[in-house]
Amino acid sequence: MKFELDKAQKDIQKAAKRFAKGEFDKELALELETTHTYPMDIWRKACEEGFIGLHFPDQYGGSDFGQLENVLVLEQFCQRDSGIGAAMLTAPFACEIILHHGTDEQKEKYLNQVTSGEAISAGAFTEPAHGSDITSMATTAVKDGDEWLINGVKTFITNAGICGFYVLLVQTDAEAGHKGQSMFIVDADAPGIDVASVGEKMGLKMIPTGEVSFKDVRVPASSLLGVENKGFYQVLQFFDESRLGVAAQALGTAQGAFDRAVEYVKGREQFGQKIGKFQALQHKIAEMATQLELARLITYKAAWLADNKKPDAKLSAMAKYYAGKIASEVASESMQLLGGYGYITEFEVERFYRDARITEIYEGTREIQKNIIAGHVLGRF
């Protein structure tokens, strides 16, 4: 058993760190947050440098690397800035479904758009009445000659309004529940699509999240993604993979908050000494350092298994669950270590804390991850 990254992986990690240090500026991040502006220029530069979709094949603008390399990049990005890092994570969201199930034409068109900086993607699964439970969808696609007619509402859609296309889960057989679901790729400028706000968010303020309505949206038969009525299974497979990205986001965000707290306690003095000398605070640091190490191990292992043709849904859920949980805890404790300054925006940690929280909610809540893990442990009985 080797617990070491190879040279290429270390180089990617260093390159991602260098890129984030050069591009993810604290003042810029605060401005983007305040103005609710997506970091478009940074995303395009990240595309130029090959960081977006680096686990895609070369012919689609990737670098033929694996999930582990993708995790290393996202971790570095989120460590430097929890908001900009998350924006880079979401830019190619749901594209793995196209990679695994798309036709050659779909891959050629959409994956290249995302890796070249031409279009951001969005994955639209959640509906107002169907969140954790996606076994039945109210959004429908009905065949009309050579075309499909899509109607319904998707909510909480990351990148709504700024994306080039939506990867959509809909009901194609109303009677068949999850066995009657299919996926489509729908261009965002298709007539009949409308985007509304879901309201002000706690974190991820530079990334739009919207409610997307589809009213008689007409798409050609070639928009079907994968196999008709197998959409549910395609999405489940996708989540096993995409959860690794969220685990990396959580890990990087936690590490970023922790680093800032460690720096702070070494400098701040109270009662005539550096606060880092107080054993009570040292124990907090020890606890957090251990949590980070565990989250990193499980996330890297889950990614490594996926890259070695042994994808493990249980481990992937464990990585997302654990990294998300400790991200909230570590960011909260880091804020505590900064005292009153932890509550002030300029010190960044409060933003890491706000951004960390989503990793326990999207792409399957903490509770849903536990359901998946328990289901694997217990099996049928």
**List of residues 6+ apart from 104 with CB closer than 8 A:** none
Q: Residue 352 interacts with ligand FAD (CB under 6 A)? A: no
Q: Which one of 66-74, 232-240, 247-255, 355-363 is the stretch in contact with ligand FAD (CB under 6 A)? A: 355-363
Q: Residue 131 interacts with ligand FAD (CB under 6 A)? A: yes
* 135: its two tokens: 């076994």
Amino acid at 144: D
Q: Residue 123 interacts with ligand FAD (CB under 6 A)? A: yes
Q: Which one of 220-228, 230-238, 314-322, 359-367 is the stretch in contact with ligand FAD (CB under 6 A)? A: 359-367
The residue number with the shortest CB distance to ligand FAD is: 131
In whole angstroms, the minimum distance from the beta carbon of 188 to ligand FAD comes to 13
Residues 145-164 that bind ligand FAD (CB under 6 A): 156-158
Assign residue 272 a region (left: φ > 0; alpha: ψ between -120 and 50; beta: otherwise): left
As a whole number of angstroms, the distance between CA 92 and CA 95 comes to 6
Assess whether 350 carries a catalytic annotation. no
**Residue recorded with tokens 């880079």:** 88
Q: Which one of 67-75, 123-131, 174-182, 297-305 is the stretch in contact with ligand FAD (CB under 6 A)? A: 123-131
In whole angstroms, the minimum distance from the beta carbon of 329 to ligand FAD comes to 17
In whole angstroms, the minimum distance from the beta carbon of 84 to ligand FAD comes to 16
CB-nearer residue toward ligand FAD: 223 or 260: 223
Helices and strands, counts by H and E, the chain:
13, 10
Q: Which run of H or of E encompasses 72?
A: helix 67-80
* 231: its two tokens: 């959409």
As a whole number of angstroms, the distance between CA 16 and CA 275 comes to 32
Angle of CA points 281, 283, 289, to nearest 5° = 105
Work out which of 47, 114, 204, 275 binds ligand FAD, going by CB under 6 A: 204
Work out which of 11, 48, 144, 367 binds ligand FAD, going by CB under 6 A: 367
Assign residue 135 a region (left: φ > 0; alpha: ψ between -120 and 50; beta: otherwise): alpha
Work out which of 17, 45, 100, 201 binds ligand FAD, going by CB under 6 A: 201
In whole angstroms, the minimum distance from the beta carbon of 209 to ligand FAD comes to 5
CB-nearer residue toward ligand FAD: 269 or 367: 367
As a whole number of angstroms, the distance between CA 309 and CA 85 comes to 27
Q: Residue 222 interacts with ligand FAD (CB under 6 A)? A: no
Instruction: Quote the longest CA-to-CA distance of the chain.
Output: 80
Q: Which of 49, 360, 363, 367 is catalytic?
A: 363
* 369: its two tokens: 């991850």
Q: Residue 126 interacts with ligand FAD (CB under 6 A)? A: yes
For residues 241 and 316, is the Cβ–Cβ distance under 8 A? yes
In whole angstroms, the minimum distance from the beta carbon of 70 to ligand FAD comes to 18
- Catalytic positions, written as ranges: 363
* Interaction site with ligand FAD (CB under 6 A): 123-126, 131-132, 156-158, 201, 204, 209, 358, 361-363, 365, 367-368, 371
